[in-house]
Amino acid sequence: MNEEELNIKIAQYRELGRKWNVQSQLIWQIPSIVIVISGVLLGIAFHIDDNFIRGIIVLITAFWVLTMIIFLVKTRMFQDYASLMMEKIEKEWKDTTPSIDVLFVETGDVIDFLENKGILKRYPLVYQMKHQSAYRFLVTSCFLWFILLLYLGMSYLMK
């Protein structure tokens, strides 16, 4: 790999790392935004006496939550893409320079690494949650919130 190719790879790696960080922040911010905005919309809905209008507002909130779930899934998809591309670049570097270590972005990989080094004993709760996915928990929580809002909205429209 000549110097120009190396500089391009370094620039790509930095950009992928930057995007990965932004997407990681979004993955954790989206559920918080969902809770706040849907709470405000529900507060408005329950201050309205007309059940039909209340039902419409709750259904609009439910579909907004669904839209955020789709955004959350897409954000994770792009984060996974960035992770795979970073791993590919790291592998190319490791093949040419064996002293370079691969950086982990997946929790399971970090847990395995810490376990091999004997450090994981300090984090027993983390070890118990090795196969749990915070991302799946976030998506499932948002989806359950969507189902509840859909039910509430439909029940107010039926009154």
pLDDT given at position 69: 93
Q: Which two tokens stand for residue 34?
A: 């969902």
Average confidence score pLDDT of the chain: 86
pLDDT band, very low/low/confident/very high, at 118 (cuts 50, 70, 90): confident
pLDDT given at position 60: 94
pLDDT given at position 127: 63
| Model confidence at 1: pLDDT above 80 | no
The backbone torsions φ and ψ at residue 119, rounded to the nearest 5 degrees and listed phi first, read -95, -20
Residue spans per domain, the chain: 3-97+134-158
Say whether 85 sits in a helix, a strand or coil. Answer: helix
pLDDT given at position 126: 67
pLDDT band, very low/low/confident/very high, at 97 (cuts 50, 70, 90): confident
In this prediction, residues 134-149 reach a mean pLDDT of 90
* pTM value surpassing 0.85: no
| Model confidence at 52: pLDDT above 80 | yes
How far is it, in rounded angstroms, from Cα 150 to Cα 34? 15
In this prediction, residues 13-26 reach a mean pLDDT of 92
| Model confidence at 121: pLDDT above 80 | no
Nearest to 37 by CA among 56, 60, 55: 60
pLDDT given at position 59: 95
- Between the CA of residue 122 and those of 39, 60, 105, 114, 130, what are the distances in Å? 38, 46, 20, 10, 14
